[in-house]
Amino acid sequence: MLLSEIARKQIEEFAKAHGFHSVGFVPSEDAETYPEFCDWLDRGYAASMGYLEKRKDAYRNPTGVLPECRTAVLLTLPYQGHPGTKSVTKQGKKRTLPGPSEPTFGSYAAASEDYHIWIRRKLKPLVRELHAMFPKCLTRAVVDTAPLLERHYANRAGLGWIGKNTMLLNRQIGSYFFLCAILTQADIAGKQVPSAKDHCGTCTACLDACPTGAFAAPYVLDANRCISFWTIEHRGPIPQAVRPSLGPWIFGCDICQMVCPWNQHINTEIPDENKPFGVQEKADCSHWLSLDQESFDRLYRKTPFWRTGLLSMQRNALIVAGNLREPTAFPWIQQFINHPNHDLMELAHWALEQYRSGTNQEK
């Protein structure tokens, strides 16, 4: 048995033992979808995420992340998604999703620790294993912050297909999983497996359900319209025209995953590090509005909310409270009407107006 074959077998067994669902190996080659990525940037679909344009050249090949990279190892790690929403209409007809009636957030953030942190921790033993087998080869773990087109390489490795909602989909675990990679200078990719076939068919559930029309076309996301972009990546005020579309989403959005048929009836073992923790508290508007910087730092320094920041989380909470006219948040909103931050002060007045207009409509 060749050393590369032994390495693949050991890495796959080691990964499964550490909670990873699937593992794939691909040679380090230029991404066939790189021109599409560049076109996506040129069309302005990345919105204000300028870091993508700044590192555009590096996305062409894994060598842009690890010089002399020979192999990319792609791994999936499931997380607990939102309960699926079954369609009651026939395929091909427009489907709608009313969305949660209470404040909520993207389910990937349900764990008590930022996934970047604990996934890197899980990858370390795999990196050490590879280094022990190939001590002269550099190896690097990647968790979606490096300029790597992970979904393309995962598709090439046979781990799933890229759906119309641009998520990687796997027939066993749907799309509720993290995707990470190990890049190595060792040549262990072996014989190339066929790319995973597209199983979306004529279904358009994700496209139809998006409340903001964020898909410019099937397989093309316009971040300028995406709830996840506005609530996680965007800094500063959110335009009034966009606010109602956020609905109940304080942080992120799972609608295009919730309606996907491949996410129904998923029964996957979730790693302990990623099991939901404190979900209800995180989804409560009054909780976010009651925080000061010190308490935010103490509670959320090692969570996905940390990068978004307290001001942006309170911005989101004010919008969601206004959209839902959440009773428990009302007294906290009143405390923001003279807030030193002008954007939050303006939002507090806007949110209170939503309460008033809702009361008038009920009359």
Q: Which residues are annotated as catalytic?
A: 144
Tokens of 255: 């609608």
Torsion, CA 87, CA 88, CA 91, CA 93, rounded to 10? -100
For residues 97 and 91, give the distance between their C-alpha atoms in angstroms, rounded to a whole number. 15
Task: Identify whether the C-beta of residue 75 lies closer than 8 Å to the C-beta of residue 19.
Answer: no
Distance of CA 50 to CAs 168, 302, 313, Å? Answer: 23, 24, 21
Helix residue ranges per DSSP H, the chain: 3-17, 34-42, 50-54, 115-133, 150-156, 205-209, 227-228, 255-258, 279-282, 285-289, 293-300, 305-308, 310-324, 330-334, 342-362
> How far from 167 is each of 198, 206, 218, 257, CA to CA, in Å?
12, 10, 11, 8
Phi, psi values for residue 161, rounded to 5°: -115, 155
Rounded to whole angstroms, the Cα distance separating 321 from 328 reads: 9
The stretches of 201-325 forming alpha helices (DSSP H) are 205-209, 227-228, 255-258, 279-282, 285-289, 293-300, 305-308, 310-324
Residue with the two structure tokens 């930022």: 114
Residue 258's CB is within 10 A of a number of other CB atoms, namely 23
3-state helix, strand, coil in the chain (%, to 5): 45, 10, 45
